Amino acid sequence: METKSSNSLQESSTPAGTERTSGDGIQLLKAVKEGNIELLQQLLEGGAEVNFQDEWGWSALHNAVQGCREDMVNLLLHYGADPCLKKKNGATPFIIAGIVGNVELLKLFLSKGADVNECDDNGFLTL
């Protein structure tokens, strides 16, 4: 009679590819920083946590905005990235778009409900 180890029982109870880990979120951040939209899309299609934040509160969306990667911003928003997600200092993707001077992204975030008067914890205003 064959017995299963506790590891094999655990493995068999969780369908492959359905677990979300912080590693997936870290890989999202890495894909954006490296400008690898193919990897970004693959991770998102695989269910990576789109709103994962690093220890300072940076998400893939914050990084895509900082890098002026409108293609990545749109992809992340399509997969449910929160356009109002705040970093540890209170900065949203809208504020970062203002810092980098990307008017198209500012318009995009305004269309998603960003507050033109929002500021971060240091009082920085976007416009």
What pTM does this model have?
Answer: 0.81
How is domain 21-111 classified at the architecture level of CATH? Alpha Horseshoe (1.25)
Q: Which tops the pLDDT comparison, 8 or 61?
A: 61
Residue 21: per-residue pLDDT:
56
Taking alpha carbons only, the member of 84, 41, 43, 45 closest to residue 61 is 84
Q: Tokens 């929002």 sit at which residue?
A: 118
Q: Which tops the pLDDT comparison, 1 or 24?
A: 24
Q: What is the pLDDT of residues 12-51, one digit of tens each?
A: 333 344 445 567 899 999 999 999 999 999 999 999 999 9
Q: Could you tell me the residue ranges of all domains in the chain?
A: 21-111
Q: Which tops the pLDDT comparison, 22 or 99?
A: 99
Integer-rounded Cα radius of gyration of the chain: 18
Q: Is the pLDDT of residue 5 over 80?
A: no
Q: What are the C-alpha distances in Å from 6 to residues 3, 19, 69?
A: 10, 18, 45
* Strand partners for 119: 125
Q: What is the pLDDT of residues 79-89, one digit of tens each?
A: 999 999 999 99
Residues in the chain: 127
Amino acid code (one letter) for 39: L
Tokens of 40: 């970004």
Query: DSSP per residue over 11-33, as a string?
Result: HHHS-TT----HHHHHHHHHHHH
